[in-house]
Homo-oligomer: A and B are copies of this chain.
Amino acid sequence: MATSVRLEPIESNFLLNDLTYAALREAVLEVDVYSESADLRLDERKMAKQLGVSRTPLRDALTRLEQEGFITIKPRRGIFINRKSKREVLEMIIVWAALESMAARLACAVATGEDIAMLRQIGMQFPEDEAKANLSEYSEANIKFHGTIMRLSNCQKLQELGEELFTHLKPIRRRAMRDTSRADRSVVDHMKIIEAIEARNEELASDLVRGHTLRLHDYVRRTWKFFVGESEDLEAGR
């Protein structure tokens, strides 16, 4: 028998279309779509040259991004990064509320004690007063908190959809970050949510989560302006 050497499987996901997709997606998400002057037009051939790939894998990536709703491809006209209207943002928040409140309900039923303990740990990372100070760090913990609730539901589909929504709201969050006024209230809300889940109170946990997110909805609805000329009425669910 031959000598056997120890080898790890070599995993080179060297598919240009995947790499291109990843690069492009990140780039698109970085664009500050909410400045009036932002250039939302993408040049296919130019990008291909920049990335050093041909148009084919690039177009593959573009197709995916279009389907995910990040861009719009207008035949023979151009490729454009999508702005989300206020209405769309509000609707996404509503969907998020629907998903997360269901997740909280499931978490009450299926999460282990340790998982819930972890949730508490994350939620308590920043006491009320610290939250306002280190807003950026708190924001991280905040994201993690909500992500954890999704995870505790033990329902992958719920999680996936949540993450997708989250990605779409990323440019929004960047903007929301400056808003310090909401941080304190969040901390209190989170504590109550943790307690409800610890008590395995499905009804309460679900209500609290929904209420928490819908308060964000209301806040954005009342205080945010998006673009000049954008219709102010006809808002989601109102």
- Determine whether the beta carbon of B102 is less than 8 Å from that of A161: no
> Which one of A98, A155, A236 has the greatest number of beta carbons of chain B within 10 Å?
A98
CB closest chain-B residue, reference A90: B155
- Determine whether the beta carbon of A94 is less than 8 Å from that of B155: yes
A and B contact pairs by CB, cutoff 8 A, 12 listed? A60-B60, A94-B155, A95-B102, A95-B161, A98-B102, A99-B99, A101-B102, A153-B237, A155-B236, A155-B237, A156-B236, A161-B161
Complex Cα gap A15–B75 (Å): 9
Query: Any chain B CB within 8 A of the CB of A182?
Result: no
Query: Any chain B CB within 8 A of the CB of A238?
Result: yes
Given contacts A64-B63, A154-B237, contact A97 B102 (CB under 8 A): yes
Residues of A at the B interface (CB closer than 8 Å) are 15, 59-60, 63-64, 67-68, 75, 88, 91-92, 94-95, 97-99, 101-102, 106, 109-110, 153-158, 161, 236-238
- Determine whether the beta carbon of B237 is less than 8 Å from that of A92: no
- Determine whether the beta carbon of A157 is less than 8 Å from that of B238: no
Which of B153, B156, B236 lies in contact with A154, CB distance below 8 A?
B236
CB closest chain-B residue, reference A65: B67
Complex Cα gap A17–B237 (Å): 35
A208 to chain B, nearest CB (A): 14
> Which one of A92, A95, A101, A238 has the greatest number of beta carbons of chain B within 10 Å?
A95
- Closest 7 pairs (CB-CB, A-B): A98-B102, A91-B157, A106-B237, A98-B98, A63-B63, A91-B155, A95-B157
